[in-house]
């Protein structure tokens, strides 16, 4: 059985780490380079960096930040935000990214998934999906969760897999920042539907929420932000709890 992964997520805005609730009310959570180093030392399995305010003008700034982070950590990390073409990826790769995460651009141009996988390999491409329940259906949203689109979570995740994406990062906007636990039902359904790994995101508040994500939600990895940034959950303690629940964890 593959080991379950714990992934802190750094949402970057104007060079700082931020965190909100339901994708709004952002507050400062610290310097991303320092946080990244701490998480690597604490035993995080991977890191995710998302430039939530990415624009073409800031792309060079973001690449330099990626480079500064890569120099401080020794674990895989995924970089996303503002990637609209194959050409956007090279600076991030050169800066030290191990994978890229695409979201809005893939919805707008699904062939981008095929292009990135053909150029860099499936293991390099993470399809991030932000979704919330609308009229009892999990509806995909883009642009940092601000725009609902004509795609549904399960069919879009399946299409992403068919186009070559190596992982799905599913964030429940309804659960994000609430600390009430992950969206277990859609996670379990995604696991049933797909053969590629699914990363759970949105809702972590207690160590037991990670246990639920891995057991009831069948997730391959669980991502969280504020509970790690503000010291509410320490990664070594979380891993001990997961091991106590007989989950396969790297330690």
- 156 and 114 Cβ atoms separated by less than 8 Å: no
pLDDT in tens, 178-197: 899 999 999 999 999 999 99
Residue 250 or 59, more confident: 250
Helix (H) or strand (E) holding 116: helix 111-120
pLDDT in the model for residue 161: 98
Residues in the chain: 251
CA angle 25/219/152 to nearest 5° reads 65
What pLDDT was estimated at residue 75? 96
What is the pLDDT, as a whole number, of residue 27? 56
pLDDT for position 23: 43
Q: Is 130 a catalytic residue?
A: yes
pTM for this predicted structure: 0.92
Task: Give 181's contacts (C-beta < 8 A, 6+ positions apart).
Answer: 175, 203, 204, 205, 206, 209, 212
Q: Of residues 56 and 196, which shows the higher confidence score?
A: 196
**Which domains are delineated in the chain?**
5-244 (3.20.20.70)
- What is the pLDDT, as a whole number, of residue 16? 66
What pLDDT digit, counting tens, does each position of 218-231 carry?
Answer: 999 999 988 998 88
What one-character-per-residue DSSP string does 83-115 give? --SGGGHHHHHHHT-SEEEE-HHHHH-THHHHH
Q: Out of 45, 51, 88, 130, which one is annotated catalytic? A: 130
- The residue-averaged pLDDT of 72-77 equals 94
pLDDT value for 144: 72
Catalytic residue among 11, 45, 88, 220: 11
Task: pLDDT band for 145, please (50, 70, 90 cuts).
Answer: confident
What pLDDT sits at residue 122?
97
Bridge partners, residue 11, by sequence: 18, 50
Write the CA distances from 92 to 65, 66, 78, 141, 163, integer angstroms: 10, 7, 10, 25, 22
* Residue 58 confidence (pLDDT): 54
pLDDT grade, residue 102 (50/70/90)?
very high
- Tell me how far apart the alpha carbons of residues 45 and 110 are, in angstroms, rounded to a whole number: 29
Instruction: Quick: pLDDT tens for 8-43.
Output: 998 877 766 665 544 444 555 568 888 899 999 999
Q: State how far the Cα of 82 lies from the Cα of 86, in Å rounded to an integer.
A: 12
């Amino acid at each position: 059985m593959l080991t379950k992964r714990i992934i802190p997520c750094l949402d970057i805005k104007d060079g700082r780490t931020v965190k909100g609730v339901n994708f709004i009310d952002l507050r400062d959570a610290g310097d991303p380079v320092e946080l990244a180093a701490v998480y690597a030392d604490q035993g995080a399995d991977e890191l995710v960096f998302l430039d939530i305010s990415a624009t073409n003008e800031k792309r060079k700034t973001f690449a330099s930040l990626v480079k500064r982070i890569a120099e401080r950590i020794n674990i895989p990390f995924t970089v996303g935000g503002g990637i609209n073409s194959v050409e956007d990826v090279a600076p991030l790769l050169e800066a030290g990214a191990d994978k890229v995460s695409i979201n809005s651009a893939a919805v707008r141009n699904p062939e981008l998934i095929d292009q990135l996988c053909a150029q860099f390999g499936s293991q390099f491409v993470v399809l991030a999906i932000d979704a919330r329940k609308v009229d009892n259906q999990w509806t995909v949203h883009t642009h940092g969760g601000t725009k609902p689109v004509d795609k549904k979570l399960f069919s879009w995740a399946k299409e992403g897999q068919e186009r070559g994406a190596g992982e799905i990062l599913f964030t429940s906007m309804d659960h994000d920042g609430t600390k009430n636990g992950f969206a277990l039902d859609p996670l379990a359904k995604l696991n049933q539907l797909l053969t590629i790994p699914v990363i759970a995101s949105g809702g972590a508040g207690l160590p037991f929420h990670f246990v639920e994500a891995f057991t009831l939600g069948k997730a391959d990895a669980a991502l969280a932000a504020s509970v790690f940034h503000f010291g509410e959950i320490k990664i070594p303690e979380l891993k001990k709890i997961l091991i106590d629940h007989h989950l396969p964890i790297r330690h």
